[in-house]
Structure 1
Amino acid sequence: MKMKEDENRRLNQALEDAVQGLQKAPTQEQLAHTLTVVRRVMQAGGQWIAAVETTPGASAALRPKIVQTADGGRWWYAFTSFDEQMKSPDAVKSTFWADINSLFDAALAAEEIQGIILNPWHCTLQLDKTLIRIIKP
């Protein structure tokens, strides 16, 4: 069952608040709280806006867009809201609402990435595969 848009927005706002708290006080306790909020949003059927691109060739299909970090890591990225998406310097052109649990499953199965960066240009949370495994039940 799809979550109501208002509920998804409310839960994602609570997540943004937790991430901002983590950025202000990067402690183990605040990280645990933030991961708990991510788990609650996921378990409630929450969704994020995933950036996608088309694959070249005759069978053009959509795949998650990858951002490369300064250390050479390759990550998928997603946004908690359209406001966060609009902060992107490269004007993300293609997105879709993705179920967080399904996005996590796909990220864990994708060998070419390190994880998912949520809101990569503001209110950022970098979820590597270790953290994703902690979040998932």
Structure 2
Amino acid sequence: MANTLYNEARKGYLEGEFNWLNDTVKVILVSTQAYTVNTTTHKFLADISSSAIIAGPQTLSGKSTLGGAADANDVTFPAVSGGAIGAIIIYVDSGQSATSKLLAYLDTATGLPITPNGGDIIITWDNGTNKIYKV
């Protein structure tokens, strides 16, 4: 699958449900062996089994929307170990996994898949026009 937004996120953006700048947005690293994305039916963090989450969550900081693109500071996942990471998932954290809405699924990026070795994993977001993703 290519990088995409979850359908419920598209709806949320269109209906003004999300505010990239003000909401608490987090990112996790997941195993694509343990998680099969379904952008139509998966809506919440609870739709991803805890066994599929290799690292995170980490909260995004320095968020911006210049040019209609979601962007943030690069993010570091410290001392990551476990299975191979095949995707990055971004979500709005409500404090509960059953209501934390999934935003984006990214599996096409430089360095993916990656097998952790106990060191830090740094996600360097694209500095081009699309940044993390363009809405």
Q: With structure 2 as the length reference, what TM-score do the two structures score?
A: 0.29
Q: What TM-score comes out, normalization by structure 1 length?
A: 0.29
Q: Which has the larger radius of gyration?
A: 1
Please state which structure has a larger fraction of its residues in helix.
1
